[in-house]
Amino acid sequence: MRDVFHEQLDAVFGDLATICGQVETAVCQATKSLLEADVEIAEQVISADVDIDRARVEVEEQCFELLSLQQPVAGDLRVVVAALRMVTELERMGDLSVHVAKIARMRVPDVAVPAEIQPTVSRMADVARDMVARVKQIIVDRDVSSAIELGRDDEIMDQLRRASFTQVLGDDWTHGVEAAVDIALLGRYYERIADHAVSIANRVVFVVTGEDPRAAASEA
């Protein structure tokens, strides 16, 4: 029975990795729609979010079944609870990608991001996508060292968001309040995607070691 239980747990983590792949696609496509003012791609991102939502429900049902039928204790219980939290964060990352796509759709036929700030926004998107791709592999491998490294790299996203604020608030900003609000929101969306990726990575560390790296960092 325990072998079957652990096979089911492995299947749950496989499903989490699959959802992470869907989120990575959503981030890429939402960014493409944003920078190219492509309404068709934006609509695809928005429509595809239902698949991520459905996958979340399926993972939750698997976890609840494990809790009710297998009655896991100690380390096994920790894994199931972590999986429930991780799938919620993945679903939220999909929602954030939809928010990006909706900004793109709202500004069509114009590009929502002014030309001079596109490199910064594009870099934020690249960092977010990279972090999603890396956390997918962290889930698959349950790689503690890579998970900890991902948390350290989150500072890059924070620096980029600060740079975007500097540009928007500069005296030479000529694109008005509406564009400034769009950039502020986009920065927040990409930053939150990165934050969720770090949170998932931390949960993988907790699953493997039983220790919360955030608590360790606070004590340090």
Query: Please, are residues 161 and 65 in contact by the beta-carbon 8 Å criterion?
Result: no
* pLDDT at 218 (0 to 100): 46
Q: What is the mean pLDDT of residues 104-119?
A: 96
pLDDT at residue 217 above 70? no
pLDDT at residue 200 above 60? yes
> Alpha-carbon torsion 117, 119, 124, 129, what sign?
positive
Top pLDDT among 153 and 132 is at 132
Tokens of 215: 């608590």
pLDDT at residue 92 above 50? yes
When the pLDDT of each residue in the chain is averaged and rounded to a whole number, the result is: 92
d(CA 144, CA 138): 8
82: confidence class by pLDDT, cuts 50, 70, 90 = very high
98: confidence class by pLDDT, cuts 50, 70, 90 = very high
> Alpha-carbon torsion 8, 12, 17, 22, what sign?
positive
pLDDT at residue 58 above 90? yes
Q: What is the mean pLDDT of residues 156-180?
A: 93
5: confidence class by pLDDT, cuts 50, 70, 90 = confident
Q: What is the mean pLDDT of residues 93-97?
A: 98
Q: What is the mean pLDDT of residues 146-154?
A: 87
DSSP 120-141: HHHHHHHHHHHHHHHHHHHHHH
Query: Please, are residues 30 and 42 in contact by the beta-carbon 8 Å criterion?
Result: yes
pTM reported for the whole predicted model: 0.93
pLDDT at residue 1 above 70? no
pLDDT at residue 69 above 90? no
* pLDDT at 2 (0 to 100): 65
Go through the chain and tell me how many residues it has: 220
Q: Highest-confidence range of 97-101, 170-174, 202-206, by mean pLDDT?
A: 97-101
Q: What is the mean pLDDT of residues 139-160?
A: 90
